[in-house]
Amino acid sequence: MNSASITLDTRGEKCPVPLLKLAKTFRDQPLIVQIEIWSDDPASVADIPAWCRMTDHELRSHEKSNDYWKFVVLRKA
């Protein structure tokens, strides 16, 4: 299987847009296996890890970088 990784910059977008874009990208792009998503919406800190647990995707990392958070989410088979 070919694999790919992309970055979604959702800074400036409010809940639920960052989470919806993350889910849509995985749904629409079957070869994408890893997404780094940037968000400055405080709700993302709870929403993205919860979504990963509910969908059985792996939250590989989560860190604050200056004025936004970076999440790395890995698609599980």
Is 15 one of the annotated active-site residues of the chain?
yes
Q: How far is residue 2 from each of residues 5, 9, 15, 30, 58, measured CA to CA in Å?
A: 11, 23, 32, 10, 19
Residue from 15, 17, 23, 59 carrying the catalytic annotation: 15
- Cα 13 to Cα 44: distance, rounded to the nearest angstrom: 10
Cβ distance 52 to 73 under 8 Å?
yes
Q: Which residues are catalytically annotated?
A: 15
